């Protein structure tokens, strides 16, 4: 999986279900995620630990917030990053990644769509491979806009025009903000953040003997190149927008792992008599430029509603020291037991990550979604369409707006009904059972 906590946690229920049927489950990743995986009872193989030792992710996060002083400092960091990235690519292409993948003698690889280089090398080594996606990425089409877009398509004859325009704009924007930015500025050229890199994708594919024919062996998605492989999406099909084109992908349905092991809060940390407002931007808040604004708005909102209990999850964001001391009705934590909090939350203020939305649906928690990057605008559009949440833009966010929206969804009967309906539809899909059958019969099932 991509080196982010949410990419791992989204797979744990599937992994447990497969293990319960007698299969051996082994995760491959960088050292920083070994503890997370082993805490769930699974095996873990570390790749490139000499380059990316335990603690790399924290240092990477710190380096993004403090790139160095002055032009010289920034260039020194750029060349240091380039050397690390080049060394990582060598480990992919010289056979060391192949050895890592083959070390557990796998019968099948489930590979995050974001780490396409692992799938390419696995196919080169003869390992049958299925893509696994944690976003609702689509092929360019005239019905549904890119998942990075907040556009809500309408059922009118002219609705195809803005949808097609959004896809064209995405491709043009990607060229400048991702492809050229990578080449000229060194952006995204990090071992854990390379899914945007079209040029590196083409290089790894060519050197690995993988045929590169766009729209046949790979396609251009919202987050960069995607391999054309059988794919399982960690999401129910019911969450899609109406009119979504049939593309042969398989939806996992309710993938929430309620058995996930979490670090508990102190038993007396929360006021049991107050409504609980849980606020979080997920485990990768340090990538979001709007995170400090959101955190400050939540802190100030807690002062407006002292009759509510607030829990603010900040992760490893370096700006949290500037928030000031919390009031008695606010807990600020780097790590939280999200499942335990959602079991008693009255509302969740969230960035709109797919994992968090699905967990809110599972526990029937109304949402205030303030989308940021990646698939979050599209996820928010879908949540509002299905009457699961209300949403607002980060540019408009204020403590007063947060409090007003939270109070609204707490008492909105239609949203409660929408959450219950979506949970039923997720269960009716029986996606877990269908995908386990598909995995166990792969590749004969194709």
Torsion, Cα of 334, 193, 185, 172 (10° steps): -110
Per residue in 319-347, pLDDT (tens digit) is 666 677 778 889 888 888 999 999 999 99
Closest CA to 249 of 15, 115, 435: 435
Would you say residue 316 has pLDDT above 80?
Answer: no
Would you say residue 172 has pLDDT above 60?
Answer: yes
Given this model, what pLDDT does residue 321 score? 63
Residue 144 vs residues 15, 124, 152, 184: alpha-carbon distances, Å: 31, 34, 8, 32
Q: What is the mean pLDDT of residues 367-396?
A: 91
CA distance 237 to 233: 9
* Beta pairing class for 224-227 and 218-221: antiparallel
141 touches 241 (CB < 8 A): no
Phi/psi for 101 (5° steps) reads -65, -40
Given this model, what pLDDT does residue 64 score? 64
CA distance 325 to 238: 42
Would you say residue 97 has pLDDT above 80?
Answer: yes
Binned at pLDDT 50, 70 and 90, residue 183 comes out as: confident
Closest CA to 266 of 206, 321, 311, 217: 311
Binned at pLDDT 50, 70 and 90, residue 68 comes out as: low
313 touches 330 (CB < 8 A): no
Would you say residue 266 has pLDDT above 90?
Answer: no
- SS3 of 422, please? helix
Per residue in 208-228, pLDDT (tens digit) is 999 989 889 998 888 899 999
Q: Which long-range contacts (CB under 8 A, 24 or more apart) does 304-307 make?
A: 304/399, 304/400, 304/403, 305/277, 305/329, 305/403, 307/274, 307/275
Structure token digits, residue 181? 């930015």
C-beta atoms surrounding 307 within 10 Å: 10
Given this model, what pLDDT does residue 78 score? 83
CA distance 2 to 21: 26
Given this model, what pLDDT does residue 277 score? 95
Would you say residue 73 has pLDDT above 70?
Answer: yes
Binned at pLDDT 50, 70 and 90, residue 443 comes out as: confident
Q: Which residue has the higher pLDDT, 109 or 79?
A: 109
Given this model, what pLDDT does residue 65 score? 59
Binned at pLDDT 50, 70 and 90, residue 124 comes out as: very high
Q: What is the mean pLDDT of residues 107-126?
A: 95
Structure token digits, residue 420? 């219950």
Peptide bond into 443 cis (omega under 30): yes
CA 428 to chain centre: 25
User: Can you give the pTM of this predicted structure?
Assistant: 0.87
CA distance 25 to 43: 7
Q: What is the mean pLDDT of residues 185-208?
A: 91
Given this model, what pLDDT does residue 380 score? 94
Percent with pLDDT over 70 in the chain:
94
Binned at pLDDT 50, 70 and 90, residue 233 comes out as: very high
CA 391 to chain centre: 19
Q: Which helix (H) or strand (E) covers residue 77, if one does?
A: helix 70-93
Q: What is the mean pLDDT of the chain?
A: 89
Q: What is the mean pLDDT of residues 92-121?
A: 95
Given this model, what pLDDT does residue 445 score? 56
Torsion, Cα of 94, 95, 97, 100 (10° steps): -150
Closest CA to 221 of 191, 244, 198: 198
Domains present along the chain, CATH in parentheses = 5-257+429-441 (3.40.50.2000), 276-411 (3.40.50.2000)
Structure token digits, residue 238? 């019911």
Given this model, what pLDDT does residue 317 score? 67
Percent with pLDDT over 90 in the chain:
58
Q: What is the mean pLDDT of residues 371-390?
A: 92
- Helical pair 413-429 and 354-363, crossing angle rounded to 10 deg: 100
Given this model, what pLDDT does residue 402 score? 94
- SS3 of 163, please? helix
Given this model, what pLDDT does residue 259 score? 84
Of 64-68, 148-152, 242-246, 258-262, the one with minimum mean pLDDT is 64-68
51 touches 91 (CB < 8 A): yes
Q: What angle do CA 111, 430, 391 make, to 5 degrees?
A: 75
CA distance 316 to 56: 13
Only one residue has tokens 């829990």, namely 311
- Residues 86-125 as b/e (b if ≥16 CB within 10 A, e otherwise) read eebbebbbeeebbebbeeeebebbbbbbbbbbbbbbbbbb
- SS3 of 208, please? coil
Only one residue has tokens 């809500």, namely 152
């Amino acid at each position: 999986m991509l080196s982010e906590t949410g990419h791992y946690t989204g797979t744990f229920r599937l992994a447990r279900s497969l293990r319960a049927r007698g299969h051996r489950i082994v995760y491959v990743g960088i050292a920083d995620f070994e503890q997370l995986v082993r805490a769930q009872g699974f095996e873990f193989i570390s790749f490139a630990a000499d380059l990316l030792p335990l603690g790399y992710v924290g240092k990477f996060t710190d380096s993004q917030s403090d790139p160095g002083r002055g032009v010289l400092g920034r260039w020194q960091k750029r060349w240091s990053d380039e050397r690390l990235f080049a060394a990582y690519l060598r480990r992919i292409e010289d056979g060391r990644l192949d050895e890592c993948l083959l070390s557990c003698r796998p019968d099948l690889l489930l590979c995050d769509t974001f780490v396409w280089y692992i799938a390419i090398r696995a196919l080169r080594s003869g390992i049958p491979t299925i893509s696994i996606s944690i976003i609702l990425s689509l092929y360019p089409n005239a019905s549904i806009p890119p998942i990075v877009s907040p556009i809500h398509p309408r059922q009118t004859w002219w609705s195809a025009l803005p949808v097609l325009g959004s896809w064209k704009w995405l491709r043009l924007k990607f060229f400048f903000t991702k492809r050229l930015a990578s080449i000229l500025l060194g952006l995204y050229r990090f071992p854990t953040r390379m899914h945007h890199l079209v040029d590196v994708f083409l290089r790894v594919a060519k050197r690995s003997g993988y045929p590169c024919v766009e729209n046949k062996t790979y396609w251009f998605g919202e987050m960069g190149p995607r391999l054309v492989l059988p794919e399982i999406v960690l999401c129910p099909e019911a969450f899609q927008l109406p009119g979504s084109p049939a593309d042969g992908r398989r939806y996992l349905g309710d993938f929430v792992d309620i058995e996930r092991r979490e670090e508990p809060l102190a038993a007396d940390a929360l006021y049991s008599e107050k409504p609980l407002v849980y606020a979080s931007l997920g485990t990768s808040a340090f990538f979001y430029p709007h995170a400090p604004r959101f955190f400050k708005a939540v802190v100030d909102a807690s002062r407006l509603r002292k009759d509510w209990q607030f829990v603010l999850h900040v992760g490893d964001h370096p700006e949290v020291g500037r928030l000031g001391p919390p009031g008695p009705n606010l807990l600020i934590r780097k790590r939280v037991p999200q499942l335990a909090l959602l079991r008693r939350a009255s509302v969740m203020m969230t960035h709109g990550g797919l994992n968090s939305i699905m967990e809110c649906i599972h526990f029937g928690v109304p949402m205030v979604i303030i989308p940021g990057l990646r698939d979050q605008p599209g996820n928010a559009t879908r949540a509002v369409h299905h009457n699961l949440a209300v949403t607002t833009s980060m540019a408009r966010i204020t403590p007063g707006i947060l409090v007003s929206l939270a109070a609204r969804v707490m008492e909105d009967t239609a949203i409660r009904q929408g959450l219950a309906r979506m949970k039923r539809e997720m269960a009716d899909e029986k996606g877990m059972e269908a995908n386990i059958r598909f995995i166990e019969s792969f590749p004969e099932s194709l």
